[in-house]
């Protein structure tokens, strides 16, 4: 019976840089190399773990930053894999569709690119034995509305079949292949759906057929938080016997919430107390880093994760809750906010991994006592009613957009953003209404205090 391993990766986005505001020397080096490092780590684990092939389910290159260096780097990795007899099966996604210049140099012959005109099939063989069959179809242009997976017709002949698909996995979607997990699961010949496009790792279905998104190996901004990587899959015959997540990011974006109403900060009188508290959190985050190179697949599978050493965390400190510190923080203003961030950046720079403060976001409120709440309950209720109307009624939202001005838009396809506009997504709307509510209450309390 055949027995083999492969890595399922996607959305490498070679060529893109990490979004870091005013980086220091160390961060600026990571900014440039982290995306490449993550892919190199994947290839190295692949070699260590003796995989037979590597799948890339679309968006190997980043659309705006495809370049000669990225292409040469990819070729170097392919050649290293070729030396070990490992083939790569690559799908072109919406960021690297085949109608654009795809590569500047010839690729080695262990790289197979799927055509955009029809579904291509490849047989993976080792020493004359067929291990697996892989089917896929690339994007021709940056949008693909065809249900290309409907043409994935494969024999059911005891060979492990893999379908490669770059999709948003939404049935009404017109840009990134309309599909539902149930549509895919209906294809009885396919054992494993290697998906790409969604940047967060997700095991959509954990039984035959398995449907999985590996996520982006290296995040590039706060929209892509936490550790990224790829799946390592071990197969016997047509059965998956092991599946483990290879976490390879060397930089992790993370929002850390600090609650000023917590036990530790409730009594805090000055910003020093807050600063000390944040530094202690940063320190324990750095110390919790025990990433090491995985010894073997058994170990990876036992932990279900192979954590690679992290070089830096990029942190957004979200300071929230109600408490005494609110008044001090409010008085800081924007200048004070960046001053506080600058101080943290300095004080946390010595840790390894580096704890890099990206910014501080203030979402605090004054302490609300029971009496206060009782006094203003009718106003709070009115505001809550008005706010819920805003969420339920599209026309009220449009009115709000008109009020905000023409710089704002509701259109929010993250893959096709107009970066010259502000986007009123649900999260932003919630922040707006929360702080509006807070502001009204504060004014009321101030006025009551004046009387």
Please check whether residue 15 is in contact with residue 39, taking contact to mean a CB–CB distance below 8 angstroms. no
Both tokens of residue 424?
Answer: 């009123």
Which C-beta is closer to Mn ion: that of 171 or that of 388? 171
Could you tell me which stretch among 83-91, 93-101, 263-271, 385-393 binds Mn ion (CB under 5 A)? Answer: 93-101
Q: Which residues pair with 378 in a beta bridge?
A: none
Residues 6+ apart with CB under 8 A from 201: 212, 213, 214, 215, 228, 229, 231, 245
CA-based torsion, 383, 385, 391, 395: positive or negative = negative
Could you tell me which stretch among 26-34, 54-62, 141-149, 289-297 binds Mn ion (CB under 5 A)? Answer: 54-62
Rg (CA), the chain: 25
Task: Among 93, 217, 229, 321, indicate the residue that binds Mn ion (CB under 5 A).
Answer: 93
Q: Does 138 bind Mn ion (CB under 5 A)?
A: no
Q: Does 94 bind Mn ion (CB under 5 A)?
A: yes
Please tell me the distance from the alpha carbon of residue 287 to that of residue 379, in angstroms, as a whole number: 47
Could you tell me which stretch among 33-41, 57-65, 183-191, 406-414 binds Mn ion (CB under 5 A)? Answer: 57-65
Please tell me the distance from the alpha carbon of residue 46 to that of residue 53, in angstroms, as a whole number: 8
Which C-beta is closer to Mn ion: that of 8 or that of 133? 8
Which C-beta is closer to Mn ion: that of 15 or that of 93? 93
* CB of 196 vs Mn ion, minimal distance in Å: 7
Q: Which of residues 401-440 bind Mn ion (CB under 5 A)?
A: none
3-state DSSP assignment of residue 62: coil
* CB of 94 vs Mn ion, minimal distance in Å: 5
Which C-beta is closer to Mn ion: that of 172 or that of 405? 172
Q: Which residues pair with 229 in a beta bridge?
A: 247
Could you tell me which stretch among 2-10, 69-77, 86-94, 356-364 binds Mn ion (CB under 5 A)? Answer: 86-94
Q: Does 168 bind Mn ion (CB under 5 A)?
A: no
Q: Does 197 bind Mn ion (CB under 5 A)?
A: yes
Could you tell me which stretch among 85-93, 152-160, 222-230, 364-372 binds Mn ion (CB under 5 A)? Answer: 85-93
Please tell me the distance from the alpha carbon of residue 429 to that of residue 438, in angstroms, as a whole number: 14
Q: Residue with CB nearest Mn ion?
A: 197
Please tell me the distance from the alpha carbon of residue 62 to that of residue 13, in angstroms, as a whole number: 4
Task: Among 37, 52, 59, 62, indicate the residue that binds Mn ion (CB under 5 A).
Answer: 59
Q: Does 215 bind Mn ion (CB under 5 A)?
A: no
CB atoms within 10 A of CB 396: 13
Residues 6+ apart with CB under 8 A from 208: 191, 240
Q: What is the contact surface with Mn ion in residues (CB under 5 A)?
A: 59, 93-94, 197
């Amino acid at each position: 019976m055949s027995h083999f391993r492969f890595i399922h990766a996607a959305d490498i986005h070679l060529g893109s840089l990490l979004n870091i505001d005013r980086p220091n020397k160390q961060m600026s080096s990571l900014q440039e190399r982290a995306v490449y490092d993550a892919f190199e780590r994947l290839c190295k684990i692949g070699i260590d773990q003796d995989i037979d092939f590597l799948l890339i389910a679309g968006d190997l290159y980043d659309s705006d930053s495809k370049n000669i260096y990225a292409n040469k780097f990819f070729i170097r990795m392919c050649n290293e894999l070729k030396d070990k007899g490992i083939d790569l099966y690559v799908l072109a996604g919406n960021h690297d569709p085949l109608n654009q210049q795809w590569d500047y140099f010839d690729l080695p012959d262990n790289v197979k690119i799927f055509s955009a005109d029809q579904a291509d099939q490849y047989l993976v063989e080792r020493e004359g034995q067929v291990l697996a069959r892989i089917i896929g179809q690339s994007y021709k242009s940056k949008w693909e509305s065809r249900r290309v997976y409907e043409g994935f017709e494969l024999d059911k002949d005891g060979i492990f079949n893999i379908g490669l698909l770059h999709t948003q996995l939404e049935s009404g979607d017109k840009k990134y292949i309309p599909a539902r997990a149930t549509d895919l699961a209906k294809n009885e010949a396919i054992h494993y759906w290697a998906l790409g496009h969604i940047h967060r790792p997700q095991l959509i279905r954990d039984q035959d057929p398995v449907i999985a998104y590996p996520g982006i190996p290296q995040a590039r901004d706060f929209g892509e938080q936490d550790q990224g990587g790829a799946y390592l899959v071990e197969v016997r015959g047509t059965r998956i016997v092991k599946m483990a997540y290879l976490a390879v990011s060397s930089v992790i974006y993370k929002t850390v919430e600090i609650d000023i109403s917590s036990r530790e900060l409730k009594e805090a009188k000055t910003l020093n107390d807050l600063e000390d508290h944040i530094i202690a959190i940063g320190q324990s985050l750095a110390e919790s880093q025990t990433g090491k190179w995985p010894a073997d697949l058994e170990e990876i599978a036992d932990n279900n994760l192979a954590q690679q050493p992290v070089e830096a965390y990029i942190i957004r400190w979200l300071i929230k809750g109600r408490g005494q510190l609110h008044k001090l923080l409010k008085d800081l203003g924007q200048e004070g906010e960046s001053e506080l961030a600058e101080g943290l950046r300095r004080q946390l720079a010595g840790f390894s991994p580096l704890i890099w403060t990206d910014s501080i976001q203030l979402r605090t409120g004054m302490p609300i006592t029971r009496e206060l709440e009782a006094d203003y309950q009718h106003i709070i209720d009115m505001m809550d009613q008005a706010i819920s109307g805003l969420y339920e009624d599209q026309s009220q939202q449009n009115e709000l957009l008109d009020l905000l001005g023409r710089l704002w838009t509701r259109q929010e396809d993250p893959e096709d953003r107009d970066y010259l506009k502000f986007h009123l997504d649900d999260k932003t709307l919630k922040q707006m209404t929360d702080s509006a509510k807070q502001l009204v209450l504060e004014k009321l309390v101030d006025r009551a205090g004046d009387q």
